[in-house]
């Protein structure tokens, strides 16, 4: 292109378009960074409260709308209890105390496929760290509720199951693997640009 023969208004137009595109890209980048910052801040604050057994702080992350689901296994079947708060002195289930002390975790969240535990080798297939999957929807809560209703363990209403399914669609599952192999698995749910603690997975790894 011969710039000397190009009309000035065209050059001004191209320059304005270039600035606009760069501004749009930067705005999108800033928005995504802000979203990650809000989510990651919630993860670390919840982890700190859990480590310190700070009921006041951790219960501030529990929404009155979603409450908190606790997943565990009593016997052969999976179980689900929805409650409005966490009480460290009164764990759910009652035989499994709340562990804490993940001081050796890495403070960078990895956005990727979640790690899996190999029961044969008794180890995770990924190194210690914090992991979350922003693509896959974890349906374990609604699946357990449906099974409990099917086998008449708990009479979940259709509306309650629909609410659980709706919660799952706006939730992320987080798995924290400590250097000692210990784990903390929980769910965060987004509502009105805030992240709430909506579930804790208390399954004992490789339990029968």
Answer whether residue 137 shows pLDDT above 90. yes
What's the rounded mean pLDDT across residues 153-159?
96
Could you give the CA distance from residue 124 to residue 173 in angstroms, rounded to a whole number? 16
Q: What is the model's pLDDT at position 121?
A: 86
Answer whether residue 198 shows pLDDT above 70. yes
Answer whether residue 4 shows pLDDT above 70. no
Position 23 confidence tier, pLDDT thresholds 50, 70, 90: very low
Question: What percent of the chain has pLDDT above 90?
Answer: 61
- Sequence-distant (≥ 6) Cβ neighbours of residue 125 within 8 angstroms: 115, 116, 117, 118
What's the rounded mean pLDDT across residues 183-197?
95
Q: What is the model's pLDDT at position 200?
A: 97
Answer whether residue 31 shows pLDDT above 80. no
Burial label for 104, CB within 10 Å (0-12, 13-18, 19+), is exposed
Instruction: Report pLDDT digits (tens) over 162-171.
Output: 999 999 999 9
| Residue owning tokens 């499994």 | 96
Instruction: Report pLDDT digits (tens) over 33-64.
Output: 444 589 999 999 999 999 889 999 999 999 99
Q: Which helix (H) or strand (E) holds 109?
A: strand 109-111
Could you give the CA distance from residue 82 to residue 67 in angstroms, rounded to a whole number? 7
More confident: 100 or 174: 174
Residues β-bridged to residue 186: 174, 200
Domain definitions of the chain by residue range: 37-201
What does the block give as tokens for 176? 């924290």
Could you give the CA distance from residue 119 to residue 121 in angstroms, rounded to a whole number? 6
Answer whether residue 122 shows pLDDT above 80. yes
More confident: 206 or 50: 50
Could you give the CA distance from residue 11 to residue 19 in angstroms, rounded to a whole number? 12
More confident: 21 or 101: 101
Q: What is the model's pLDDT at position 201?
A: 96
DSSP-assigned states of every residue in 151-207: TTSS---HHHHHHHHHHHHTEEEEEEE-TTS-EEEEEEEEETTEEEEEEEE-PPTT-
Whole-model pTM: value is 0.82
């Amino acid at each position: 292109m011969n710039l000397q023969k190009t009309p000035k208004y065209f050059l001004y137009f191209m320059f304005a378009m270039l600035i606009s595109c760069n501004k749009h890209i930067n705005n999108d980048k800033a928005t995504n960074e802000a979203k990650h910052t809000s989510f990651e801040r919630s993860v670390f604050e919840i982890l700190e409260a859990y480590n310190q057994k700070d009921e006041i702080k951790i219960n501030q992350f529990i929404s009155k709308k979603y409450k908190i689901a606790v997943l565990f296994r009593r016997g052969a079947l999976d179980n689900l209890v929805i409650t409005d708060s966490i009480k460290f002195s009164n764990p759910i289930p009652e035989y499994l105390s709340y562990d804490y002390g993940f001081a050796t975790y890495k403070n960078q969240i990895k956005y990727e496929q979640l790690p899996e535990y190999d029961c044969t080798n008794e180890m995770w297939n990924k190194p210690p760290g914090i992991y979350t999957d922003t693509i896959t929807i974890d349906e374990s809560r609604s699946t357990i509720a449906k099974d409990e209703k099917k086998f008449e363990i708990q009479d979940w209403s259709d509306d309650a199951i629909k609410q659980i399914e709706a919660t799952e669609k706006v939730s992320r599952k987080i798995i924290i693997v400590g250097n000692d192999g210990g784990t903390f698995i929980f769910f965060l749910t987004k509502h009105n640009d805030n992240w709430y603690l909506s579930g804790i997975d208390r399954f004992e790894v490789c339990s029968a």
